[in-house]
Each structure stands twice: as C-alpha cells, then as structure tokens.
Amino acid sequence: MFGLEALDLARIQFAFTISFHILFPAITIGLASYLAVLEGLWLKTHNDTYRDLYHFWSKIFAVNFGMGVVSGLVMAYQFGTNWSRFSDFAGSVTGPLLTYEVLTAFFLEAGFLGVMLFGWNKVGRKLHFFATVMVAIGTLISTFWILASNSWMQTPQGYEIVNGQVIPVDWLAVIFNPSFPYRLMHMATAAFVATAFFVGSSAAWHLLRGRDNPAIRTMLSMAMWMALIVAPIQAVIGDFHGLNTLEHQPAKIAAIEGHWENVGNEPTPLILFGWPDMKAEKTRFAVEIPYLGSLILTHSLDKQVPALKEFAPEDRPNSTIVFWSFRIMVGLGFLMIFTGLWSLWLRKRDRLYSNRAFLYLALWMGPSGLIAILAGWFTTEIGRQPWVVYGLMRTADASSMHSFLQMSITLALFVVVYFSLFGVGLGYMMRLVRKGPKINEGAETSHGGPGQQRTPARPLSAADDNGDHSHSLNKGN
C-alpha cells in the first residue's frame, strides 16, 4: 500500500507514538519547575496569588504526568517488539542508560510526587516545597539520561564492537558524547519555552473573555518574562548545536539546507525557501541569499558547507522533510522572540493585559513551543537516517522480522487507541485550563472528620475540576 514496506510502517509507528509522548514530558519538565518557582515565591512573599496558581497548575501537571508515563511505557516495549535487532546490537549501551533513568529520576519523581500532590495538609511547608523541588529535579535528571541515550545514537563514542555487538568501554565517553551537551540544553530549554507559551496562552484566553484578576495577570506576566529571556537564549544554543552537527553529521546539515553542490570556491548561499527534490538532486524554486549559508553555518564568509552530492545517495537523509521541519522550528522560534519583545514594549506602556491584538497572538502561540519541539525532533531523527546508530547500524538492519500485515494492524490499533485515550486526557486537561485558577483556593479548611473535606487518594483525583484539592500548609517545618 502506497509503496510502503513493513520497515516503513515500523518507523511510522515509532514516530507516531513518540510524537504523542514527547509532548507530555516537555510540559512536565516546564510545569514542574514552574510549580517550584510558584511555591518558592509564595513562601517568600506570602502572596496568595502564587499559592492559588500553584494549586491550579498542579492539577494540570498531575494529568499531564500520568499521560506521559503511560505513553512512555509503550515506546520502551517497541524496542523489543519492533526493533529487536537494534536492541541486540546496542542494548548494552541504551539498556543501562534507560535503567539509570528509572533508578535515579523516575523513582525520585514517583516518591516525592505523592508528597507534592497529596501532602499539602500532611507535611510542613518546607518539606512540601522540598518535595516539589525534587520532582522538578527528577524531570531534569530524566531528561539527562534520555538525551544521553539518544545523543549516543547520533554521535556514538566510548564503545567497541565485539561479535557484532556494541560493548561500552568508557561510560563517561558514552554519556558525554560530542552532541550530548548541546542536545540536553536545547531540549530542556525548549521544554521551558513551550511551557511558558502554554501558560501565557491560558492567561490570554481568560483575559480576552474579561476574566481579569491578579492570578491571571501573574500567569501572563511570568510567561512573557520567560519568553523574553529564554527564547533568545534558545536561538544561541541552537546555533552552537548547529555547529556541532556540522562537525559530526555534515550530511544532516546539507539536507537541512537543501544544499546539493558547491560551485568552485564560492561561499555557500542560504536557501530560505524551496522544494528539495531527492530524485532530481536539486532544490526547486530556491530563494537564496548569497554568502549567508557560510556565515550562519561556519561563522565565516568564505568557507563552504558540505553538499548532498558529496555523499552516496543511500547515505543521504530525506532533505524534502528536514528542510521544511527545520524551517518550521526556526520560524516559530523567531515568532517567540517577537512575542517576548512585544510583551516588553507593552509592559512599559502598561498595556500588556489590555492589548487585544497581543492577547490574540499570545493565545495562538500556545501550542507553538510543542509544534517547534516536534519539528525539531523530526529534523533530528529523520536527519540521522539512514542510520539508527550513526555510522554503525542502518535502520533497515535494526528492525524485527514482522510482516506488512502485522505492522499494519498494530499501527491502526495504536492510532485508534492513542487518539481515544489521550484525546480524552487532553480534553480533560484543557477543560481544567478553561476553568482557570480559583481565588483563595488555598484557604484553610477543616479535614479528616466524617463529612469533612479529604485529601484525594487517587493520583488523577489531584486534578479534580471541582477545585477542592488545595488547602493551607501546616505551620510546622
């Protein structure tokens, strides 16, 4: 069907499942740190607005965290079911790295998550804050190990191949491989930016509907400060990441740029737009800016960028896809920077919360961070092709021996189940967002007796949309 083979369906299935999954950890990483900041500000200033926002976003965090865990388990199983030859070849590296993630991050998050969500009335203020901080740190530790594993597949180091299997010989080299620092910083920062625009969009939605209160204003203000500061930093990190990719994966850069061949000693132009044609080996309808490709990619006006024709056809990534996925990511990045700068201009004129044009922009920019993350992931992973472990194992050699029918059935089931299950979860989460934070949500109430309000005993009940989750902390430490 459509010229696809079982291998293509296996790749589509993994891409589909990870595209769902990656959205949840991104928001989890950002919201966990946001909650730690909110609770810290409340403890320092005693401003109840921060407490109200903490309780509001902790409900959304709980739902998001649960969906992230469920969607992540599926991917782990796919390594054994659909990519067994990859697991046999590289499992001695990727297996321990994922195990370290579970032992150091997941257990940390799971242990303190209970205190964070259900301990508001059970423990002292400092201990509860400590639990929130530990959950935030746990999300970052998880990012560390996942990116270490993925980066090793992109730039493998610290290994030997014995009897057709990868054997780690230097774990520091395996973990801190050449692309790891850039990927870690790029992904973590992307999560913070994506969360900022998610929070800012939520605030804009309420302001546009006339719900103007200190909690909503604080949401928008904090989100726009984050966008103003972090979005430009992300652009700088991306530049360093690009230089690293040019050094270690030049074919990927050539595909991203849609650059097919160099002419003499001429500097490389930047192709703003066009349509890379893999069969014709040219980029059609190209709109070029002379010298700019060399300037951006090599920080020089005379150096050339490697061209796709310098690589064998079977070693070239699909330029048609990564050319545009990269431009979607970069284009959204510029829009994020523009939004942050506009927010600063309006803030200075005391119009940040009333300018409807800006509020509509902030509203529509809500999913921009998540779309940019997906576009960046497509660029990274498709740009690595045809390798599953760059330079060591081709994707075609990594898959399990499943039939086209088997892969068709499982892919169809994944699509139906994912859209049904996570569609409901996302719908519920957005319903919570639409309800907005409740003022004095953390007001002190009585607990424990018959007929009295109780702390929820089920994880997702922390996301109770009746708003009864929040209460005051004990005075003790």
- Tens digits of residue pLDDT in 250-300: 999 999 999 898 888 888 888 999 999 999 889 999 899 888 888 888 888
CA distances from 166 to 52, 130, 173, 396 (A): 51, 40, 14, 18
pLDDT tops 60 at residue 464: no
- Amino acid present at 120: W
What integer pLDDT is reported at residue 438 of this predicted model?
77
What integer pLDDT is reported at residue 286 of this predicted model?
87
Q: Which two tokens stand for residue 463?
A: 């996301």
Residue recorded with tokens 């310098």: 310
List alpha helices for 316-403, DSSP H.
319-348, 356-364, 368-384
Q: Residue 359 and residue 204: Cα distance in Å, rounded?
A: 5
Evaluate whether residue 121 is within a structural domain. Answer: yes
Question: How many domains are contained in the chain?
Answer: 1
Evaluate whether residue 466 is within a structural domain. Answer: no
What integer pLDDT is reported at residue 177 of this predicted model?
95
- Residue-wise pLDDT for 369-412, tens only, equals 999 999 999 999 999 999 999 999 999 898 888 888 888 888 88
Higher pLDDT, 77 or 269: 269
- Phi, psi angle pair for 166, to nearest 5°: -75, 130
Evaluate whether residue 331 is within a structural domain. Answer: yes
Evaluate whether residue 473 is within a structural domain. Answer: no
Q: Which two tokens stand for residue 206?
A: 């309420």
What integer pLDDT is reported at residue 462 of this predicted model?
46
Evaluate whether residue 391 is within a structural domain. Answer: yes
What integer pLDDT is reported at residue 463 of this predicted model?
47
Lowest mean pLDDT among 205-214, 293-302, 314-323: 293-302
Q: Is 457 helix (H, G, I), strand (E, B) or coil?
A: coil
Lowest mean pLDDT among 95-104, 268-277, 330-339, 449-458: 449-458
DSSP for 50-87? HHHHHHHHHHHHHHHHHHHHHHHHHHHHHHHHT-HHHH
Are 227 and 339 in contact, with CB atoms under 8 Å apart?
yes
Of the chain, the percentage scoring pLDDT greater than 70 comes to 91
Q: Residue 424 and residue 17: Cα distance in Å, rounded?
A: 16
Instruction: Provide mean pLDDT across the span 229-233.
Output: 95
Evaluate whether residue 356 is within a structural domain. Answer: yes
CA distances from 351 to 20, 203, 207, 215 (A): 37, 15, 12, 17
b/e sequence 310-321, b meaning 16+ C-beta within 10 Å: eeeeeebbebbb
- Amino acid present at 253: I
Higher pLDDT, 267 or 70: 267
- Phi, psi angle pair for 115, to nearest 5°: -65, -40
What integer pLDDT is reported at residue 436 of this predicted model?
82
Residue 15 pLDDT grade (very low, low, confident, very high; cuts 50, 70, 90): confident
What integer pLDDT is reported at residue 263 of this predicted model?
84
pLDDT tops 70 at residue 75: yes
pLDDT tops 80 at residue 45: yes
Instruction: Provide mean pLDDT across the span 345-352.
Output: 94
Evaluate whether residue 278 is within a structural domain. Answer: yes
Q: Is 270 helix (H, G, I), strand (E, B) or coil?
A: strand
What integer pLDDT is reported at residue 448 of this predicted model?
37
Residue 421 pLDDT grade (very low, low, confident, very high; cuts 50, 70, 90): confident
Evaluate whether residue 109 is within a structural domain. Answer: yes
3-state DSSP percent of the chain in helix, strand and coil, to 5: 70, 5, 25
What integer pLDDT is reported at residue 441 of this predicted model?
56
Domain that includes residue 312, residue range: 6-435
